[in-house]
Amino acid sequence: MSDKNEQSLEMLRHSTAHVMAQAVRDLYGDVKLAIGPAIEDGFYYDFDAPNRFTEEDFEKIEKRMREIAKKDFPFVREEMTREAAIAFFRERGEIYKVALLEDMEDASVSIYKQGDFVDLCRGPHLPSTGKIGAFKLLSLAGAYWRGDEKNKMLQRIYGTAFPDKKSLRQYLNRLEEAKKRDHRKLGRELDLFSISEEIGPGLICWHPKGARIRNVIESFWRRAHYAHGYELLYTPHIGRSELWQRSGHLDFYREGMYAPMNVDENEYYVKPMNCPFHIQIYNSRNRSYRDLPLRWAELGTVYRYEKGGVLHGLLRVRGFTQDDAHIFCTPEQIEDEILEVLRFSLYMWRSFGFEDVAAYLATRPKKAVGDPKRWEQAQVSLEKAVAAEGLACKIDEGGGAFYGPKIDLKIRDAIGREWQTTTIQFDFNLPERFDMTYTGADGEKHRPYMVHRALLGSLERFFGILVEHYAGAFPVWLAPVQVRVLTITDSHIPYARKVLETLLASQVRAEGDFRNEKLGFKIREAQVQKIPFALVIGDRERDEKTVTPRARGNQNLPAMSVDDFVERVREESKVMNETIL
């Protein structure tokens, strides 16, 4: 979608949010309005209402919205001084609009009117309510005013809008498909993971099948990193407060950290990030330009505080394992290193079945640390790498962190949803804070370039994306159980056991179902569990020493020897020409 189309869609959805607010006000009277922005795939509005909304109210609200649209009220923009606007909304009892205005520094602000409805808004909007197109209210949620749990809980109504009914229908169909693919639902059905209230919200327990997939992912990750010139690190889960003070986390990130523990009269914090530990390893001895570049990676488990209201299965958690890496190099090496890390990222995503990847480049903000020349070189290296790989790229001018520019990679899954994943982030702050140096060819001390790189992001979130992308039907190389051996009668069990032993000895992930149940029942169970292959063992297989595979999707394959079947599994377990078993 072009930027122009995105802006048009955002305007449509923002305008629809205003129409929804007007409908709610018309229907429920004494309702105070908070904020109602357009968001990705839709819009929402937060209300402070005396009544409790339910999804049964949606039909009534939508009917009133259609009536407002039919009246085709023009969206009329008016300018007011900030003081006049405060008086205007205070007179109407709109306490949230007043609070927003009081925090603004603008001398003048804009309001929008449609019929007798008035809202504080920068705009822009459609010409009139009659242009809002096709819409649907979707869900309800609680939302603290300004995201602060000390403030009042408001009621948030989510909706979506599109220019036409066909686009809306296609989107709603995708939503239905997304519900079927919800990793929380599939996680229960396939027995992959769980979250226990007794352990704590946002903390994941990996069950045997989920842990098996994670082990496959980690093994592939490690081999790929060694093959791409990385060394792997292990670092502690806690660190002294002085470390976090020097890194700046206690000044800028304390709200995301858990309370300290006292050990030998020293304060220790569980780590929210791995970077200070990697820097300590770098600083453990003198470094020369001949040592660089250094590519260090770690599957490091970190803990970050997230408010309970935003926790969401595997996608938003409080404890997670980050596939973290840091690159330390000289200015002369930086372009090659950035190109290499981008190519490596693409290799990994394509290995897991994601081909649609886009880049988002965030550049230097007004307030930034570090030499502007280094910023420029860093940005140029990012731009060149993206261009070399032919990636679609959007530039977020001034959107970088204060300590360095970055590239974010976003992938599209099987039903077209976009997920932010890889981050390649320069850091001009920590090398200064920790006085990182290397000795150059001139014999002088120089500051290395430092690049943070989270490739998959976190294993938990990545696994959630993976479950939904494949709808739980993992490719053979990732499937926790690749083969289930099924017997027709008890007389087939001895041979079936020998088949199972051969499969396990060949590193095929296999299990047996030798229960005294009907074969059709066993086959259906294997299908429900989304196992790639079921091997049916009957008289012919036992007598001829063969197996008859049934592929996922009810595809019957011809009978073959166990060795031939193992070779087939190996062939289907190849990822980028490497067999994963």
Query: Tens of pLDDT along 353-375?
Result: 999 999 999 999 988 888 899 99
Residue tagged active-site, from 18, 406, 469, 530: 406
Res. 5: pLDDT tops 80: no
CATH number, domain 483-579: 3.40.50.800
pLDDT (0 to 100) of residue 431: 95
Q: Which residue among 324, 413, 427, 513 is the active-site one? A: 324
pLDDT score of 308 more than 90: no
3-state secondary structure (DSSP) of residue 465: helix
The one catalytic residue among 225, 326, 469, 542 = 326
Owner of token pair 């869900």: 139
The Cα 497–Cα 387 span in angstroms is 55
Tell me if residue 156 is catalytic: no
**Cβ-Cβ contacts under 8 Å for 188 (sequence gap 6 or more):** 194
- Give residue 578's Cα distance to chain centre: 27
Q: How confident is the model at residue 577 (pLDDT cuts 50, 70, 90)?
A: low
Query: Which amino acid is located at 231 in the chain?
Result: E
Averaged over 147-172, what is the pLDDT? 93
* SS3 state at 324: strand
Q: CATH 3.30.980.10 occupies which residues in the chain?
A: 3-166
pTM of the model: 0.87
Q: Spot the catalytic one: 14, 183, 209, 304.
A: 304
Catalytic annotation present for 275: yes
Mean pLDDT over 173-187 rounds to 95
Q: What is the pLDDT of residue 313?
A: 96
In the set 275, 318, 379, 542, the catalytic residue is 275
Using CA atoms, how far apart are residues 261 and 247, in angstroms rounded to an integer? 19
Check residue 234 and give its pLDDT: 97
The pLDDT of residue 581 is 57
Annotated active-site residue in 155, 322, 379, 529 = 322
Tokens of 2: 């072009």
Please state, in angstroms and rounded to a whole number, the distance separating the CA atoms of residues 301 and 303: 7
Rounded mean pLDDT, 219-224: 95
Q: What mean pLDDT, rounded, does the chain reach?
A: 93
Query: Tokens for 72?
Result: 């085709």
The per-residue pLDDT for 369 is 87
Q: What is the pLDDT of residue 329?
A: 96
Strands (E), 115-151: 117-120, 134-144
Q: Is the pLDDT of residue 30 over 90?
A: no
Select the more confidently predicted residue: 309 or 1: 309
- Residue 529: pLDDT above 90? yes
CATH 3.40.50.800 segments of the chain = 483-579
Mark whether 333 is an active-site residue.
no
pLDDT band per the 50, 70, 90 thresholds, residue 1: very low
Q: Which whole number is the average pLDDT over 220-230?
A: 96
Report the C-alpha gap between 559 and 553 in whole angstroms.
17
Residue 470 contacts residue 353 (beta carbons within 8 Å): yes
Which residues are bridge partners to 535 per DSSP? 485, 549
Pick the CATH number of 187-233+273-470 from 3.30.70.260, 3.40.50.170, 3.30.930.10, 3.10.450.50: 3.30.930.10
- Under CATH, which architecture does the 3-166 domain have? 2-Layer Sandwich (3.30)
For residue 123, name the pLDDT band (cuts at 50, 70, 90). confident
Contact 530, 190 (CB under 8 A): yes
pLDDT for 576 beyond 60:
no
Contact (Cβ atoms closer than 8 angstroms) between residue 567 and residue 507: no
Tell me if residue 393 is catalytic: no
Contact predicate 192/470, CB 8 Å: no
Q: Decide if pLDDT at 522 tops 70.
A: yes
Compute how many other C-beta atoms are within 10 angstroms of the C-beta atom of residue 107.
8
* Contact (CB, 8 A) for 362 and 399: yes
Catalytic status, residue 452: yes
How far is 300 from 321, CA to CA, in rounded Å? 5
